[in-house]
Amino acid sequence: MTRRTPLDLNLRFDLGDDFLFKGAGLDARLGGNIRVFTRNELLRGEGSIRVVKGRYSVYGQTLDITRGILSFTGPLNNPNLDILAVRKTGDVIAGVKVSGTVERPRAKLYSEPGMPDTETLSWMVFGHGLDSGDSAQFGMLQLMAGALLSQAESVSLQSRLAEALSIDSFEIREGSNPEDLATTVVSVGKRINSRLMMSYGQSLDGLEQVVKAIYQLSSKIRVEATTGTATGVDVFYTIEYD
């Protein structure tokens, strides 16, 4: 029979002045110290690790980390987060604040001067406001909102983006290569009148473009005309069952 020997650790680590980390989009010099010990045979930590100077790359953009602290007050694998990463364009600073823990992070958009989240996200990703964007950039904002924010915050932000751009509908669908984000197609639509809806779609890489007109002939029949990368006319008849 193999007898299990309890592990009893009590170690202290000092990162010094030249601890560099590069990977997973992060390029940073780290500092601080942390005590690693066991309690009831579980690894725990006390102390903090901070980003002395660093940058974080996301969706092709590089953000400067102006504040980055991981505080350990319990389980070693779940430190508290206090991070601010920003992009500065002229007099505008836009970025994201992350708090909470590694297991349950919370992301909030941040800007100086203060502005709506829709504008903040546009300045952070593209370096300009919504009024200078196009449909492909709008789609990238949708994807980033879904990646950065919680589901409720993402849906709210997407609705505000649609309102800010004065559109009535938007759609995101997979492109010709589902594994390549750049082929993702974003469509935005505007209702012309009670019967006619116009939409424009473009892939994020700009290689696929589609203009579609949807005309409701009656409550059961609609016609969809498409031109661009693909051209055609389709007639749809709706049958309802009780």
β-pairing, 92-100 vs 61-75, is: unpaired
Residue 131: per-residue pLDDT: 72
Residue 96: per-residue pLDDT: 84
Is residue 194 in some structural domain? no
Is residue 130 in some structural domain? no
- The pLDDT profile of the chain, 242 residues, written as one tens digit per residue, is 455 556 677 888 888 888 887 765 678 888 999 898 888 778 888 999 999 999 887 655 788 999 989 898 988 788 888 889 899 999 999 988 888 887 887 878 899 999 887 788 788 877 888 776 555 555 556 555 555 555 445 445 555 555 555 566 666 666 666 666 566 776 767 777 777 787 777 776 667 777 778 888 777 788 888 776 767 778 887 776 65
Is residue 201 in some structural domain? no
Is residue 49 in some structural domain? yes
How many independent structural domains does the chain possess? 1
Is residue 175 in some structural domain? no
Is residue 47 in some structural domain? yes
Task: State the residue range of the domain holding 86.
Answer: 1-114
Q: In the numeric block, which tokens belong to residue 101?
A: 């823990």
Q: What is the pTM of this model?
A: 0.57
Collect all residues with Cβ–Cβ distance below 8 Å to 224 and sequence separation of at least 6: 212, 213, 214, 215, 233, 234, 235, 236
Is residue 92 in some structural domain? yes
Is residue 226 in some structural domain? no
